[in-house]
Amino acid sequence: MRTRTVGGSGLEVSRLGLGTMTWGSDTGLDAATELLASFTEAGGNLVDTAPAYGDGVAEEILGRLMHTVIARDDLVIATKAGFGRKGTHRVVDTSRKALLDDLAGSLRRLHTDHIDLWQVHAWGSAPIDETLAALDVAVSSGMVRYVGVCNYIGWQIGTAAAWQHAVPGRAGLISGQVEYSLLARRAEIEVIPALAHHEMGLLAWSPIGRGVLTGKYRTGTPRDSRGARDHFSWFVEPYLESRSRSVTDAVVRAADGLGLTPAQVAMLWVRDAPGVTAPLLGARTAEQLSGYLGLDDVHLPEPIVHALDDVTGGPNQGRQTQEMGTPR
């Protein structure tokens, strides 16, 4: 699998990432073992997790597998901080104490002495200088190699990146992780331009439209799908409406004409979109993941790309700029 550097940094990652949001809930140890083995055998190295995934179980599984399936140094581990559970409620706490406590917990669960990419999971109510100072501490202490943010909108990315650039010695942000797919192109308006301006890479979560762009929800909700599970139905439901069905139909037609699956078409559109470092694949089984591997030399024809752009909201301005020969 080919690699890309993350933004303007020297961190090199596979151009597909493995997401672990279902680990510890829908994906148990055996399935996670098969997923990680298949992913790394194909040349993948970027694995994204978080303390919030399975209330820490996802990190625990990954930590175990790094001692049984693959060597720690063969992976780029991206995890997060600032978002989790207190009792039955999900809370965002981006204070210095909460972030550094989360980091200590992640290091313990992952059985490692450092995180390759540590990300603030969400914008919080703590002062931004306090939040970012925690990132500086993590990097200067050697517990973290690089830092980024997740689910920030454009002005939040600009504020955080500019603050870190203002004083020499602060840990510069190298990445932003947001939802991006043919069903969620909002990032093109402000987020992707902000990331590009500050030389930050984009890690795209849910590139398959929360599973909807596979086409399996076209005639109902399959019993074995995320949408049929109480703890994930809320995640899928927003895309089970008429507009999403029209987009999915277009993806299915493109896939039929190209001899690909709808999921492969949706992933390739994201992987090769301007500014994207890597789509993060939330496959629950090795069988689901296998369809995305081995596509290094496969690209969507430009007419198909533009047709999908048009169906889902109009031209991708970054793609147009790229085609006119303006440097990215």
Distance CA 39, CA 42 (A): 5
What is the DSSP code (8-state) at residue 89? E
Residue 221 confidence (pLDDT): 75
218 CB neighbour count, 10 Å cutoff? 13
Q: 3-state class of 127 per DSSP?
A: coil
Residue 224 has pLDDT above 70, yes or no: no
The 10s digit of each residue's pLDDT in 59-91 is: 999 999 998 989 999 999 999 999 987 777 889
Give the pLDDT mean for 289-317. 95
Residue 326 confidence (pLDDT): 45
Whether the predicted model's global pTM rises above the 0.85 cut: yes
Helical (H) or strand (E) element with 134: helix 128-140
Domain coordinates in residue numbering, the chain: 3-211+274-299
Pairing, β 144-150 against β 12-14: unpaired
Q: Tell me if 116 sits within 8 A of 76, measured CB to CB.
A: yes
The 10s digit of each residue's pLDDT in 239-261 is: 888 889 999 999 999 999 999 99
Q: Tell me if 78 sits within 8 A of 17, measured CB to CB.
A: yes
Which superfamily does 3-211+274-299 belong to?
Answer: NADP-dependent oxidoreductase domain (3.20.20.100)
Give the pLDDT mean for 264-285. 97
Residue 197 confidence (pLDDT): 98
User: What is the Rg, in whole angstroms, of the alpha carbon atoms belonging to the chain?
Assistant: 19
Distance CA 202, CA 164 (A): 18
Residue 149, amino acid: V
Q: Estimate to the nearest angstrom the gap between the alpha carbon of 187 and the chain centroid.
A: 13
